[in-house]
Amino acid sequence: MKVSMRLMEKLQSTLEQQIGEQISSTIVKRGWNYYRNGNVQKAEATMHHTLTGIVRGSDVYAIVIDAEHFKFSHCTCPFGGFCKHMAAVFFQYCDNYEGGFAQAERAYFRILGLLPASELMNRGAKEAAAQEQAEEQGTGSGDGAEQWLSWMEAEYGDSWKKCRHSLHALQPVLSSLKGLSRDWDKRLQRLHWITGILFVLEQAEHAINSVDSFSRYYHEISFQRMAEPWLEHAITLVNELEPEGMEELELSAVPAITAFAKRRALLSDKQLFEWGEIYIALCEKLSSNKAWFENERSQLNEEYREARSEERDASFYTIVLAMLSFYDERDLDAIRFFSDCPFDRCQRLIYPCAAQRMEEGKWALAEQWMSFLYERVYANRNFRNIGPFMALCRKADEDKGEQPVWMTYMTELLPYSYSELSEHWLSKKQYPQWADLQLLIGIKPEDIQATELREAAKAAPHALMPLYHQAVEAAIQSRNRQGYRMAVKHLKKLEKLYKTAKETHKWQVYLNGLTVKHQRLRALQEELWKGKLVT
């Protein structure tokens, strides 16, 4: 029996998203086969964002799928995780809505990130028709990017209205746009494809703004995941451009494409995609064309001064001008621009600048970037935001270890840098420094991975001795039986360290002194005796 007119769209879109993220494609395909074979006997939605169902396999299984708290979903089958029966119940639920099998098929292919077979069969015909229509209306390789965009808007400007649950409706649009230029010169074809992808991404932006606030979070994840290959393809095409050898038609198309990306980047509304990064990627590639580069920078400087004079947010301009200065190897200007921008908005771009200068072996410039970063990271230090900076410090110390400044940065960020610094010293086999760090932070031997302790004990037993001495005293100070047992465990490890270092005499002196010092602690003496440390 068909469900009422509404499919409970929030439930379907949420479940589709969760299944795509939590269930592997192999399991989804098995669930699809179960649904196709008629194994699902029941699939119903409750009032609490939950889907229930019954599936017949080797036995009869009951399924409950919680859309809001997917981790609590379960099936009575012995699989022990998110299983094929859950996927099968979801597809049957889609089938129960008007649209039947076609509705379920679309959901299945969306989850797998594919196009249904029926659409694949018709794609060639659609592309040919679009090509013929485009030629009739005069849009072609001889037109500029402005004409391309105008034509796309006229033909496909309302495509976003079809994106109710996913961006599936935009895939044939993108395929058609690419088909228009399949016979063009490769250089122009790249620019046309970039334009088409940016147009389709803007359609996705329109679509997300039509979603109600309750469902927006789930749709954002779904939309971004589906659009990710498109965005990656656009960046790949940008990197394939050859700015220095561009001819007149190519050069005439570039301003409209960059202006399109910049216009989106300047919008203050929350957006699905990082349009600023798309624009910066274009600027980076096109920067080798000096004429275009100087013209773009001049225009940005003018817009930047205008924004400042009108007291508008100029962060976008400062970031882009900083990156243009970096591409022009004017690092001090780049750092000056970045200084005028909130660190949380630009730090993702600053780290690659420092890393690139290190890769190029320009260590004087790398030091300037690292000094700038250190001031910002130190002022906002916490366990979450120092990771990228520590990664750069570790690389610098490995490549240019004779400069002590890298180690100074890492140690001054303690305790937030403990994990990275500990791993760094261990990887460089600097065991004394590594052991001293554990002492400084107050880490106990039982809190350190056994493999790390074994490695250090074998290579540098003396480095570990103070750590175990401290642990023994701390355990004894607990003044309870459990603490004394822990002290004995540490003493046995300490005995092995002394033997490895061939200092058994010093061990015996230490043990005798410890026994005399705590001779009144009868429970400790008993544990020492049980551990066969004393007779």
Q: Using CA atoms, how far apart are residues 112 and 26, in angstroms rounded to an integer?
A: 10
CB 62 within 8 A of CB 75: yes
Strand order in the sheet with 60-66: 40-45, 50-56, 60-66, 74-75
Tokens linked to 416: 């937030």
Instruction: Find the helix or strand (DSSP H, E) in which 170 lies.
Output: helix 170-180
Q: Is 138 exposed, middle or buried (0-12, 13-18, 19+ CB in 10 A)?
A: exposed
Say whether 269 sits in a helix, a strand or coil.
coil
Q: Fill in the DSSP letter of residue 310.
A: T
pLDDT of residue 374: 96
pLDDT of residue 121: 46
CB 290 within 8 A of CB 249: no
Half-sphere exposure of residue 393, counting CA atoms within 13 Å on the CB side?
26
pLDDT of residue 4: 40
Contacts of 254 (CB under 8 A, 6+ apart): 145, 191, 246, 286, 292
Per residue of the chain (535 residues), give pLDDT as tens: 344 444 456 677 778 878 887 888 889 999 999 999 999 999 988 766 788 999 998 899 999 998 888 888 999 998 888 999 999 999 999 888 756 888 888 888 878 766 554 454 454 455 455 555 544 444 555 567 889 999 999 999 999 988 877 888 898 899 888 888 888 889 999 999 999 999 999 999 999 988 887 778 888 888 888 889 999 999 999 999 998 888 888 888 999 999 999 999 998 888 999 999 999 999 999 999 898 999 999 999 999 999 999 888 899 999 999 999 999 999 999 999 999 999 988 999 999 999 999 999 999 999 999 999 999 999 988 887 899 999 999 999 999 989 999 999 999 999 999 999 999 999 999 999 999 999 999 999 999 999 999 999 999 999 999 999 999 999 999 999 999 999 999 999 999 999 999 999 999 999 999 999 999 999 999 999 999 998 7
pLDDT of residue 136: 47
- pTM for this model (two decimals): 0.68
Q: Using CA atoms, how far apart are residues 10 and 29, in angstroms rounded to an integer?
A: 23
Q: Using CA atoms, how far apart are residues 260 and 276, in angstroms rounded to an integer?
A: 11
Q: Is 69 exposed, middle or buried (0-12, 13-18, 19+ CB in 10 A)?
A: exposed
pLDDT of residue 140: 57
- Long-range Cβ contact pairs of 207-211 (< 8 A, separation 24 or more): 207/160, 207/161, 207/163, 207/167, 208/272, 209/269, 210/160, 210/161, 210/163
CB 222 within 8 A of CB 13: yes
Tokens linked to 506: 């010093």
Tokens linked to 477: 């100070």
Instruction: Find the helix or strand (DSSP H, E) in which 32 lies.
Output: helix 25-36
pLDDT of residue 202: 95
Q: Fill in the DSSP letter of residue 75.
A: E
Contacts of 127 (CB under 8 A, 6+ apart): 175, 176, 178, 179, 180, 182
CB 228 within 8 A of CB 171: no
Q: Is 480 exposed, middle or buried (0-12, 13-18, 19+ CB in 10 A)?
A: exposed
pLDDT of residue 113: 66
To the nearest 10°, the Cα dihedral for 177, 181, 187, 192? -30
413 — phi, psi (to 5°)?
-90, 5
To the nearest 10°, the Cα dihedral for 524, 528, 531, 534? -170
